[in-house]
A and B are shown apart, each in its own frame.
Chain A
């Protein structure tokens, strides 16, 4: 299971990568593997606000429909429109082309509450 060391993780299997005040998020390799073939992604609306742990999107696989929870709070500043036509990018490249959206966070240190790679790896292996 691929768990890059430079990302932070939520216990709900989302990853987060900070770039200044913007945080790019997606679902982890573990999550995409558990979901199976992803066939539809419901993206959040640009400019919408989200709270930590709030629903920020929906991922439908051949098995089930699952909600994606915001690992950080803020305003949605960008969404990955490529997922509309190619939801399978979430399976193929969960940490790269399969990203979900970017959130403009209000406060510094929004990632501090999230798990580091070692802690997330431990979570998925337990």
Chain B
């Protein structure tokens, strides 16, 4: 090294590590296929040894009557612990995960899940408790559940909540059953529920499952509920309206007070789909907007794992007039403590069945360890921290909106909330590269794809939700990658059509996979 200038030149020329939270290196094992666990099976091989427990052996015929037993033993894979761990670790290396890099999947709030929440959930005092243990022995758990309910109600501005529902869709169904029970208790049978055309697909599905008919209202040119059209469909046959605010276009429904007044005027209830709650945490509360029923996706807003489809948690909070209908039993705080017959000591917390409960919507107490994670997340942040979550989620989305304005079309060019909806419409018309191609090509750059083709009312939609957990450096890297893909397409390079080329599998036949589902190894053979 001869001089400082040379040193700087060498440093500048050296390859730099990828900036931001991208997972740009190729998977270790490329496209090698992984056998199923059954193909690894060897007769007699075991991962576990049962310890000598001192419990005497007993003839199985005396324990389980023969008519209640299987005719043939269940066929399980027989593998060593070493092969078992290797198999699932290799599979995990083929997955993109929120721990690996940015996951800007719009409307899903794929924020990073802090590890402290997992650390709490594995504490033996929480994890090793049998759900059937009496209240007198589980005061800690009950206090945790009650405290979570109280903070969720404080955040949403509601009177009480059930923690039972297993996830968002289960929460929606619970909310609609509450709506039905409320009207029935008033001696009314109403038939319709109103849903905006920008709604999540689960909304109409839940309405149908709840025994109601869907009435759709269109969005106006600003992307919000068309008040005129709403007034036209409102009458005393309307059980309620389901709204997401901010809506799926990432826009705040500015006329929410007028909407609430109009729906309440005809005796309907307002249901808040909490999918986008992350945008308004600590800033504005659904209860103050006039909502009667609010579901929350703890796996979105409160950073519990999305998992492989679960377990999730979708608590439902309600206004005062719906409290008696909540699923039961509910954990409640009894101030001062009340003696419970022969129990060891007066209990501060107890299980109570609401007087007009719609019944259980989940076994035991819901997905309790998910609830413990959510309370941890909330307490770690505090109320000021939760407000910063919302502010930074909104700031990040708006940064991307402005940064990508010249790259994609911006259908609603005004400040957005926690997510921004862009469109690849022009790119498709002029260069035949679709939103789907952009999404697939982005995988090669080490980012998870954004949501595409949703909301349905935006042509070639790309819906990006960065969440508050991604740094400015990651946002810059994501925007640079998206811009490079568009520049590449504009130059006539159609690589995006073949993408992704660096992932373990490329474009799979999604329609056939869904239509002719093969979910077991036996069926595959």
Question: For B69, what are the chain A residues with a Cβ–Cβ distance below 8 Å?
Answer: none
Say whether B510 faces chain A, with CB atoms less than 8 Å apart: yes
Question: For B456, what are the chain A residues with a Cβ–Cβ distance below 8 Å?
Answer: 64
Say whether B511 faces chain A, with CB atoms less than 8 Å apart: yes
For the complex with contacts A36-B436, A60-B511, A60-B515, 14 further pairs of A-B residues with Cβ separation under 8 Å are: A34-B459, A36-B434, A39-B509, A39-B510, A39-B511, A39-B512, A40-B511, A40-B512, A62-B510, A62-B511, A63-B436, A63-B452, A64-B453, A64-B456
Q: Which of under 10, 10 to 19, 20 to 34, or 35 or more describes the interface residues of B?
A: 10 to 19
- Point out which of A34, A36, A63, A64 has the most chain B C-beta atoms below 10 A from its C-beta: A63
Question: For B511, what are the chain A residues with a Cβ–Cβ distance below 8 Å?
Answer: 39-40, 60, 62
Chain A, 24-43, contact with B by CB distance < 8 Å: what is the 0/1 string?
A: 00000000001010011000
A39-B509, A39-B510 as given contacts; A62 in contact with B436, CB under 8 Å: yes
Question: For A40, what are the chain B residues with a Cβ–Cβ distance below 8 Å?
Answer: 511-512, 515
A-B contact count (CB 8 A): 20
Interface of B is mostly: mixed
Q: List 20 A–B pairs whose Cβ atoms lie within 8 Å, in order of A's numbering.
A: A34-B459, A36-B434, A36-B436, A39-B509, A39-B510, A39-B511, A39-B512, A40-B511, A40-B512, A40-B515, A60-B511, A60-B515, A62-B436, A62-B510, A62-B511, A63-B436, A63-B452, A63-B453, A64-B453, A64-B456
How distant is the Cα of A36 from the Cα of B429 in the complex, in angstroms? 12
Question: For B515, what are the chain A residues with a Cβ–Cβ distance below 8 Å?
Answer: 40, 60
Question: For B510, what are the chain A residues with a Cβ–Cβ distance below 8 Å?
Answer: 39, 62
* Chain A proximity of B433: nearest CB distance (Å): 12
How distant is the Cα of A62 from the Cα of B460 in the complex, in angstroms? 11
Could you tell me which residues of chain A, from 53 to 76, have a CB within 8 Å of some CB in chain B?
Answer: 60, 62-64
How distant is the Cα of A115 from the Cα of B363 in the complex, in angstroms? 55
How distant is the Cα of A73 from the Cα of B515 in the complex, in angstroms? 28
How distant is the Cα of A60 from the Cα of B510 in the complex, in angstroms? 10
- Point out which of B509, B510, B511, B515 has the most chain A C-beta atoms below 10 A from its C-beta: B511
Give A38's nearest chain B residue, CB to CB: B511
Question: For A60, what are the chain B residues with a Cβ–Cβ distance below 8 Å?
Answer: 511, 515
Question: For B512, what are the chain A residues with a Cβ–Cβ distance below 8 Å?
Answer: 39-40
